[in-house]
Chains A and B, each alone.
Chain A
């Protein structure tokens, strides 16, 4: 019995990941975001007569990188095709994409769901294509402004098979792809700037049926939460319609985040005949075994492999391993700490996911920008391990380091936070406490052993937390002859 009664939703995602290249897919113009309109546009980007596209090999390498990461087939020859339609932000009157022969085909990706299950999502293809420009409707009374800065920006369109059966699965898959493309360094994953966006194909069918229902396509949703809500809404809408005996119309719908609804897009997008044909300006894109080997040589350990290693070899709990591997910079930070502090995986993980992560959140920084770099944290944690300071004091030291007061040793020295491990000083403190509380001492000697903790507490208080806990325990027991 599914969450939707007798209906099973079937979802496929088309993810557009903007490849993080310096220049565009077919021209030398910059891909930087946020420039003045129409300043990152060369002759090719505005489609002047006689100009020709020249493929950017860096974009191809990134596509290969993604293909290798999803264990896909890399086509030795892939073909650029023209998708023909008229629109003002499409300067050539066609978009250069890949149609029959994409560069990446038949991959798969393991996706861990929140409920602990792992599913394997089949990825039909990933192909290179150029982005269109932007139509600006607001600032031009009664007219439309065109900004072609984005026109020609390289995209990798990643098309899953329709093998996702709930909004939650779809979003988990999307997050996994998001992690992966950033991990591989092929896309910056910035969803606000549109570097990572998604179209969702949604249909429902009776649980007993093998045949796919009529699908609708939800266009251009650019947050995980909206994708989940949009799909959820669309599933419910389709089920309601089918239960009322209505037919689903194959159409493109837009998600309205204000109303949490999808509605049909105006115009007849689906009636378009794009007249795809191989682009005669571009010979088939050749990828040799050497090209693939060169990319392979630079492949990082993939998130799933790293996560498994953290659990199996380092003995980290699943949840820690998964959180550390949510992005590569976090995992790299953790490993840098661990490298300087061998054998302390759990300590390094706790601090990376605890203090560091919280401080980054508060300061709205990424881990690459951390004010306490991995070696500095490792140094601090080494002091904990050596017994110079306690774990509790270490948090204060970390905060001081974060605030720029110096490295761990400087802060410990400056603030006089060094643990009292000197047995003479500790003995004196113990003697003072025992002298101060004769009644409690008598009680203890009378058999109330719980008071041992009381004395520990008092000595800690007296030493402002700097007493070495193990040593204190031992000395106290010695003095009390227990």
Chain B
């Protein structure tokens, strides 16, 4: 039985006055400064955090309802924060201070949780290594020569390094689950529409989901409970009740049918990753689950479909960065066209430009049918594969990534190799489903993640399955050397 000192324990300590929000916040700020080498934060908001901690301490005196009150955390720098610079890790928004809070920011502020700042990420969430940041690469706390994964790499590194117990993130093609796997933590991607996208800077609108990275499934459940819910400011937000995620954690797994998709155990998977995942599946059997062989026949089409749809949407979403109203603007433009071309040439990084070009091409007259429309048809097929599979199983399991964290610089010159690392995660976004990555072992001393996928709006089932595993294992309690 592995216990970590998680949100529940912190909340209890706060209520027993063994610590205070201010003390926790000071510790988190100190830890962040101490691990500046990780480059996990773009903005450390010391003053704002301490002010929020003071308010949280006042609230704690009145015994607040939310378990998150007074707990420090960090926001991925993709969530707009009123009065606090929000960069999306782009030169384009280096000077951008939003006059509004994202829905996720609002909701967490309402719990009196204390944000210490804004986490580094891949520029506009485009990347799988956190090397595509205007503010530099983030390093993996398990091995600082390696990537933490992306795009929520800063969030994952902060949690893995023990700086904060949780951090917000976003997942468009794996951007929560892959860094969670690379950093040995737990990351939940909810159903599309479960958490509002209002105030979350768009990458690919039909795929972007907001959620949480934490040490354990239990912590994820606590945070998702605060983030989820309908928001009238997001037309794609689901108008349905939020399940009791925490309440569902304790359910035994007896009779749970776990689908093993043969496509997720193909040639590309590292032996060490496969071994750790197989061991975890055995553990699930011990917990009472039944493993069922299934097939997701269109799995191989997910990457090509994703890398048409996501860039197509991005090419349009990022058109607003034109140097006219806010953000970076080229100096002394000679003409309107010069303003546009230089602003965008100078303001965006290479990967963002690559995706804008790919997306623009895919939507162009004469190519639209062959790329965008075909990718949408494939998307339907992939979603149908899952619907079919969930007729016989409750969850689908497999490795989150085919390999462990790679070296910084190893794949940065080969975008296609980088994209291929998303092979197991992107299909979930295309189908809009919830999925979780939890640590299940190590390969070459680096964490391995297991991905569980559930039918739409079955986050409670995922969290329950992950929590039960974590009650019977201690992979999630392991910390990199030197981390307290």
Contacts and interface: CB of A to CB of B under 8 A. Distances in A.
Contacts of B363: 84, 275-277
Nearest to B80: A50
Interface string A251-284: 0000000000000000000000101110111110
Interface stretch (B195-203, B278-286, B446-454, B461-469): B195-203
B295 interface: no
Nearest to B200: A50
A88 B324 contact: yes
B316 A50 contact: no
A49 B368 contact: no
Select the residue from B93, B204, B233, B336 with max chain A CB neighbours within 10 A: B233
A93 B316 contact: yes
B8 interface: no
Interface string B180-213: 0000000000000000011111101110000000
Contact of A277 (B79, B234, B316, B320): B316
B93 A49 contact: yes
A314 B326 CA distance: 63
Interface stretch (A51-59, A436-444, A451-459): A51-59
A281 B235 contact: yes
Contacts of A46: 325-326
B482 interface: no
Contact of B320 (A49, A53, A146): A49
Contacts of B93: 49
B456 to A, nearest CB: 15
A13 B187 CA distance: 55
Interface of A is mostly: loop
A288 to B, nearest CB: 16
B237 to A, nearest CB: 9
A439 B322 CA distance: 98
B112 interface: no
Interface residues of A, number: 30
A91 interface: yes
A429 to B, nearest CB: 79
A43 B101 CA distance: 11
Nearest to A86: B340
Contacts of B79: 50
Interface in B305-321: 312-313, 315-316, 318-320
A197 interface: no
Interface in A47-103: 47-55, 82, 84, 86, 88, 91-94
Contact of B198 (A52, A84, A86, A283): A52
Interface in B206-253: 206, 232-236
A282 B315 CA distance: 17
B201 A280 contact: no
A54 B197 CA distance: 12
B205 A281 contact: yes
Contact of B364 (A51, A86, A273, A283): A273
A273 B197 contact: no
B136 interface: no
Select the residue from A43, A47, A49, A279 with max chain B CB neighbours within 10 A: A49
A277 B319 contact: no
Interface in A354-405: none
A273 B365 contact: yes
A52 to B, nearest CB: 5
Contact of A281 (B88, B236, B336): B236
Nearest to B234: A52
B266 interface: no
Nearest to A44: B233
Contacts of B205: 279-281
Contacts of B312: 277
B140 interface: no
A243 B326 CA distance: 53
Contact of A84 (B201, B232, B316): B316
A275 B325 contact: no
A277 B322 contact: no
Contact of B202 (A50, A54, A82, A273): A50
A48 B325 CA distance: 9
A277 to B, nearest CB: 6
Contacts of A88: 322, 324, 336
Interface in A143-181: 144, 146
A50 B326 contact: no
Contacts of A144: 336
Q: What 9 pairs across the A-B complex have the smallest Cβ distances?
A: A93-B319, A280-B206, A280-B205, A275-B363, A50-B199, A49-B201, A47-B320, A273-B365, A50-B201
15 contacts: A43-B99, A43-B100, A46-B325, A46-B326, A47-B320, A49-B202, A50-B102, A50-B198, A50-B201, A55-B235, A84-B363, A86-B319, A91-B320, A93-B322, A277-B372
Given A43-B100, A93-B320, 15 more contacts: A48-B80, A49-B96, A50-B200, A51-B198, A51-B199, A54-B232, A84-B315, A86-B340, A92-B320, A93-B322, A275-B365, A279-B205, A281-B202, A281-B236, A282-B235
